[in-house]
Chains A and B, each alone.
Chain A
Amino acid sequence: MAVGSAAAPESAPRAVAPNPYETASAPTGRTEIDRLVLAKLNKLGIQPANLCSDAVFVRRAYLDVIGTMPTGKEAMAFIKDESPNKREALIDVLLKRTEFTDYWTMRWDEALRVKAEFPINLWPNAVQAYHRWIFTALRDGMPYDKFARELLTANGSNFRVGPVNFYRAVQDKTPAGVAHAVAQTFLGERTEKWPKERLAGLAGFFSQIDYKATLEWKEEIVYYDPAMATNGLAKTAVFPDGKPALIAPDTDPRQVFADWLIGEKNPWFARVAVNRVWAWLMGRGIIHEPDDLRADNPPCNAELLAYLQKELIAAKWDLRHIYRLILTSDTYQLSSIAKTRSAAAEANFASYPLRRLEAEVLIDALNQITGTTEKYVSAIPEPFTFIPEDQRAIQLGDGSISSSFLEMFGRPARDTGLWSERVNKTTPDQTLHMLNSSHIQRKLEQSPKFQALMRNATAPREVIGGLYLMILSRLPTPQEIQAIAGYAQIEAPATAASATGKSGKSAKSGKSSKSSGKYRDPGKGREAALDIAWALINSQEFLYRH
């Protein structure tokens, strides 16, 4: 697509602002979420950012909802669409995509520590069963209360009954160790900060879980063992709200706990769930961090949290409803260009926070743009696991299957399942890798997508427009086109020199030797195009959600 015609959407009615990222409109309190957020911001005297542009929205929604970049075509179709409800319509479409399930399964895999090897040691077959169960539950919209109940009460083989692995995906399988994991997962609390008696009370519910081996290698049956009642611990079970539990003999104490947990009066259960979804989408929780709920870490906006809790229960524990509420709010659609910079503004969602793409999303995006693939391996290759060549990182079920790129860019180890395990901070070694590694350089140089783009383009402008759409999901601004034109001019003599052999250190690939130094020379054009692609993938606009 030619850049000339493509510039049109930039100057379309919405884009009054002088940058491609924001509109001139301020949020108006369109939804209940917006009214609650704006009320709080008003009270604090903080001015929220303007609403984001369509180009920003389409990219943001894809990345946030399905962990996947829009293709150039998808981005353009959305930007050109003139229907007034197109943003809501897009959210609805995205919530139905398979990648939505992939991406949110990845999040749950993290929280639940789905990992074959040390220190969790689920074992590959069990990881597959567990991951598959989570995936299926999310895909089919299993209500969240049922999801929790199944995780807490399942019995059976770790290879066949996915959710029993909840009780295996812990580093400490004692009743207290399991109680710690239960509190972290479903109450969002850290038992390190609890009085000892409270932990002991919760541990009582998990005092009759037994594990036994079968004849199959590493198969393990996890089950409720009535005979373990003799340890007497179930009798000491106390709910986290301080009420002692009455557990009838021959009753699985886990059932009693699960019933209490998912009961509508339980103050924790829904709160933790909606806060987690909010944090996943907005970059920080209404209570932050989302697994550190405690009396002295109150929500920044209690009314907002209460509203979402109520909505989850009213929607019969359908978490997709919460996603939709958040994603279609103006609060979610604020630009990342903040009008106020302060800790309070950040904590109260006055703008969309810039966040570096997660390791998995970033490498998938690079692969998508360039049309290349990545190799993933487990340090323990047994039993042999076939990993397809076009494996996407967000679909990796096993935390033990990884790549050096994922490790470098802060993929969580899944050792603890805590929010803080994922580190999206930009570090110089990551920057070095993006700027200058053979890994990234190879992807650019060998990209079949770029080659096709260059082959099919009739003018350099088409190449530039195509690269912008593929990489940044928008078209270049006039200033950017100018800068690129300038770059091509500057590069022309240098390339001509290398073609005549004056540049001794030049590549052995010999690609520059084709150059005749002419302005429209294909070899030179190729190098310039690759440099532009290189610059765009190293821009903050590509590397960060914005």
Chain B
Amino acid sequence: MNMNHTILSAGEMTRRAALQRTMLGAGGLMLGGALAPRARAAVKAAKAKAVIQIWMWGGPCHLDTFDPKPEAGNDFTGPLTKPIETNVPGIRICELLPLLAKQADKYSILRTMTHGINGHETASYMVQTGHKPGDGTVYPGVGAVVSYFKGYNGGYKGLIPPYLVMTKLQGRFAEAGFLGSRAKPFATGGDPSQNPFLVEGVVAQGITDKRQQSRRELLHHLNTLGLTMPDDPQVLEAAKSEQAAYDLILGDAGKVFDLSQEKDALREAYGRTRFGQSCLMARRLVERGVPYVTINYEGWDTHKGHFQEMRRKLPDLDKGMATLLQDLSDRGLLDSTIVWWGGEFGRTPRVQWDPPWNGGRNHFGKVFSHVVAGGGFKGGHAVGETTATGEEVKTRPIYVTDLITSMYDLLGIDCNAKLPHPQGLDVCVMKPETGVAGSNKLTEIM
């Protein structure tokens, strides 16, 4: 019986070790090479190689961005009454997005996103994972799934983690779900508009490479326990991890974060802001093969003084995102990179004029806009139509599952492929029944 257990536990360890090797999230960094054949097989030849997700934290208003309703009157438009024509006839967007208007042929607007949830956390979970909460399983977000299949299991060999978020974790739910903390994104910290961009752990201020090297030697001399038991599996793992860390600190891979390598004019075009430079950083990362980059763009939960905020924030969005699309396109990267813009929900089309809101907009999960570009998505379309006030879906409701399964399709990820569940449950990427009203992929624009 005891011997049996020994064998069992050894098997258990192997299984777990294998699982951990395949769950190379941020933690994986350099442990490439160990391929999970199953994950490999689940990825078919695909148009899209990477995703840049612009996460509009808080929920931007669809009326004030990509679904303007100038005819709906002041209670809906507020002061933003003059939408502008884009370079695609028939598609108008908000007047504060002139640069994006010139790029409309590159992206498609999904105007009839809907899930009906008005709470940040639940809506974020729904939009990020494509699953409704409450069945006892916390699913991983799209980033964790994509980096699971297209990271080290999918042949990615870079030293930069395959799933990276600028600059802070999204935080309202665990991005990695049941895949566990190792599948979480690497959060850069720091601010890419500062020089240097202090990517936490990779770029340190005021410590020369020489001091790095001599400190490392000192560490090796003083690591007495590690030297006493060099064959301990934990010690071996720590040593491997340290080697990997120094490859990034002292090696060339970390230079990707050095934005001073870019031309000043381009940096200006992106905007010298946290968001603008994050967009530029995202391009540099996908250029080097990183499969999933999230830009966590905060500040869209505008309950109060909404329109003042829009005048301040939309130009920043406009510059960064428009330049990103142009730059990706100029470099031939747009065909293989999905740019996905959107938040957890929209905002109430009817403006709340009374105090304390003073021209604010509340949460609105019934209708909201997302935007997709590149990686096989066609540009120049507006999918779905909303009613005259933007309060209802008129034609073609788009459920989160429709969007996410479409992205997985373009990325070559099989929705029936299995995900490793820590309790061994049989879980696939997207259960067919999760499509709320039958899954309707975005075939219009694929």
Give CA–CA (A407, B29) in the complex, Å. Answer: 17
Chain A neighbourhood of B436, CB < 8 A: none
Q: Which residue of A lies closest to B134 (CB)?
A: A171
Within 8 A of A (CB), among B153-184: 161, 168-169, 171-174, 178, 180-182, 184
Chain A neighbourhood of B244, CB < 8 A: 428, 431
- Whether A338 contacts B223 by the Cβ 8 Å rule is no
- Whether B222 contacts A540 by the Cβ 8 Å rule is no
- Whether A407 contacts B232 by the Cβ 8 Å rule is no
Give CA–CA (A380, B27) in the complex, Å. Answer: 26
Chain B neighbourhood of A531, CB < 8 A: 211, 214-215, 218
Q: Does A119 contact B (CB under 8 A)?
A: yes
Chain A neighbourhood of B12, CB < 8 A: 288
Chain B neighbourhood of A343, CB < 8 A: 6, 9-10, 13
Contact status of A540 and B235, CB under 8 A, knowing A21-B228, A431-B242: yes
- B224 in complex: contacting residue of A20, A298, A437, A543, CB < 8 Å: A20
Contact status of A535 and B215, CB under 8 A, knowing A410-B181, A427-B29, A429-B161: yes
- Whether A172 contacts B136 by the Cβ 8 Å rule is yes
- Whether B1 contacts A298 by the Cβ 8 Å rule is yes
How many chain B residues sit at the interface, stated as a range, is: 35 or more
- Whether B234 contacts A355 by the Cβ 8 Å rule is yes
- Whether A487 contacts B20 by the Cβ 8 Å rule is no
- B5 in complex: contacting residue of A300, A415, A532, A534, CB < 8 Å: A300
Contact status of A420 and B422, CB under 8 A, knowing A119-B173, A509-B206, A543-B238: yes
Q: In the complex, how many angstroms separate the beta carbon of B11 from the nearest chain A beta carbon?
A: 9
- Whether B206 contacts A506 by the Cβ 8 Å rule is yes
Chain B neighbourhood of A413, CB < 8 A: 138, 174, 181
Q: Does B186 contact A (CB under 8 A)?
A: yes
- Whether B238 contacts A426 by the Cβ 8 Å rule is yes
Chain B neighbourhood of A43, CB < 8 A: 2
Give CA–CA (A177, B172) in the complex, Å. Answer: 24
Q: Does B189 contact A (CB under 8 A)?
A: yes
Chain A neighbourhood of B437, CB < 8 A: none
Which of A432, A439, A505 counts the most chain B CB atoms within 10 A?
A432
- Whether B5 contacts A347 by the Cβ 8 Å rule is yes
Q: Does B219 contact A (CB under 8 A)?
A: yes
Q: In the complex, how many angstroms separate the beta carbon of A399 from the nearest chain B beta carbon?
A: 10
- Whether A480 contacts B180 by the Cβ 8 Å rule is no
Which of B31, B168, B245 counts the most chain A CB atoms within 10 A?
B245
Give CA–CA (A368, B161) in the complex, Å. Answer: 31
Binds A, one of B118-126, B266-274, B388-396: B118-126
Q: Does A185 contact B (CB under 8 A)?
A: no
Give CA–CA (A532, B249) in the complex, Å. Answer: 19
Q: In the complex, how many angstroms separate the beta carbon of A243 from the nearest chain B beta carbon?
A: 26
- B133 in complex: contacting residue of A119, A355, A538, CB < 8 Å: A119
- Whether B423 contacts A431 by the Cβ 8 Å rule is no
Q: Which residue of B lies closest to A505 (CB)?
A: B208
Q: Which residue of A lies closest to B175 (CB)?
A: A407
Give CA–CA (A429, B225) in the complex, Å. Answer: 22
Give CA–CA (A177, B137) in the complex, Å. Answer: 12
- Whether B201 contacts A118 by the Cβ 8 Å rule is no
Q: How would you classify the secondary structure of chain B's contact residues: helix, strand, loop or mixed?
A: helix
Chain A neighbourhood of B30, CB < 8 A: 428
- Whether B218 contacts A423 by the Cβ 8 Å rule is no
- B198 in complex: contacting residue of A438, A507, A538, CB < 8 Å: A438
Chain B neighbourhood of A298, CB < 8 A: 1-2, 4-5
Give CA–CA (A508, B198) in the complex, Å. Answer: 15
Q: Does B398 contact A (CB under 8 A)?
A: no
- Whether A119 contacts B235 by the Cβ 8 Å rule is no
Q: Does A74 contact B (CB under 8 A)?
A: no
Q: Does B252 contact A (CB under 8 A)?
A: no
Contact status of A429 and B181, CB under 8 A, knowing A438-B205, A544-B234: no
Q: In the complex, how many angstroms separate the beta carbon of A17 from the nearest chain B beta carbon?
A: 10
Give CA–CA (A192, B136) in the complex, Å. Answer: 12
Q: In the complex, how many angstroms separate the beta carbon of A422 from the nearest chain B beta carbon?
A: 9
- B237 in complex: contacting residue of A336, A338, A408, A426, CB < 8 Å: A426
Chain B neighbourhood of A19, CB < 8 A: 224, 228
Give CA–CA (A414, B437) in the complex, Å. Answer: 32
Chain A neighbourhood of B125, CB < 8 A: 118-119
- Count of residues in A whose CB is under 8 Å from the partner chain: 91
> Scoring A residues 332 to 343 as 1 if CB is less than 8 Å from chain B, else 0, what string do you get?
000011100101
- A118 in complex: contacting residue of B27, B172, B219, CB < 8 Å: B172
Which of B136, B161, B172, B214 counts the most chain A CB atoms within 10 A?
B136
Chain A neighbourhood of B224, CB < 8 A: 19-20, 477, 479-480, 539, 541
Q: Does A441 contact B (CB under 8 A)?
A: yes
Give CA–CA (A122, B8) in the complex, Å. Answer: 38
Chain B neighbourhood of A508, CB < 8 A: 205-206
> Scoring A residues 20 to 55 as 1 if CB is less than 8 Å from chain B, else 0, what string do you get?
110000000000000000001001100000000000
- Whether B29 contacts A428 by the Cβ 8 Å rule is yes
Chain A neighbourhood of B186, CB < 8 A: 429
Q: Does A60 contact B (CB under 8 A)?
A: no
Q: In the complex, how many angstroms separate the beta carbon of A192 from the nearest chain B beta carbon?
A: 6
Within 8 A of B (CB), among A341-360: 341, 343-344, 347, 353-356
Q: Which residue of A lies closest to B222 (CB)?
A: A535
Contact status of A490 and B138, CB under 8 A, knowing A300-B5, A379-B172: no
- A432 in complex: contacting residue of B10, B120, B249, CB < 8 Å: B249
Contact status of A190 and B222, CB under 8 A, knowing A354-B235, A426-B238: no
Q: Which residue of A lies closest to B421 (CB)?
A: A192
- Whether A437 contacts B171 by the Cβ 8 Å rule is no
Q: In the complex, how many angstroms separate the beta carbon of B206 from the nearest chain A beta carbon?
A: 3
> Scoring A residues 166 to 202 as 1 if CB is less than 8 Å from chain B, else 0, what string do you get?
0000011000010010000000001010000000000
Q: In the complex, how many angstroms separate the beta carbon of B373 from the nearest chain A beta carbon?
A: 29
Chain A neighbourhood of B218, CB < 8 A: 483-484, 487, 531-532, 535
Within 8 A of A (CB), among B295-345: none
Q: Does A418 contact B (CB under 8 A)?
A: yes
Give CA–CA (A177, B182) in the complex, Å. Answer: 27
Q: Which residue of B lies closest to A292 (CB)?
A: B423
Give CA–CA (A480, B221) in the complex, Å. Answer: 7
Q: Does B98 contact A (CB under 8 A)?
A: no
Which of A172, A431, A480, A483 counts the most chain B CB atoms within 10 A?
A431
Contact status of A296 and B8, CB under 8 A, knowing A119-B134, A415-B174: yes
Q: Which residue of B lies closest to A412 (CB)?
A: B181
Q: Does B256 contact A (CB under 8 A)?
A: no
- Whether B206 contacts A356 by the Cβ 8 Å rule is no
What are 24 of the A-B contact pairs (CB < 8 Å)?
A: A19-B228, A21-B225, A40-B2, A43-B2, A118-B133, A119-B173, A171-B136, A300-B2, A336-B232, A355-B234, A379-B121, A421-B422, A423-B180, A423-B181, A427-B28, A428-B245, A432-B201, A436-B212, A438-B200, A494-B210, A534-B215, A535-B221, A539-B226, A540-B238
Q: Besides A425-B237, A429-B186, A508-B206, 9 other CB < 8 A contacts?
A: A343-B6, A343-B9, A343-B10, A416-B138, A428-B27, A484-B218, A507-B205, A535-B215, A540-B235
Residues of A near any B CB (own CB < 8 A): 19-21, 40, 43-44, 117-119, 171-172, 177, 180, 190, 192, 288, 296-302, 336-338, 341, 343-344, 347, 353-356, 379-380, 404, 407-408, 410-411, 413, 415-416, 418, 420-421, 423, 425-433, 435-439, 441, 477, 479-480, 483-484, 486-487, 490-491, 494, 503, 505-509, 531-532, 534-536, 538-541, 543-544, 546
Closest 4 A/B residue pairs (Cβ): A427-B27, A507-B206, A432-B201, A428-B29
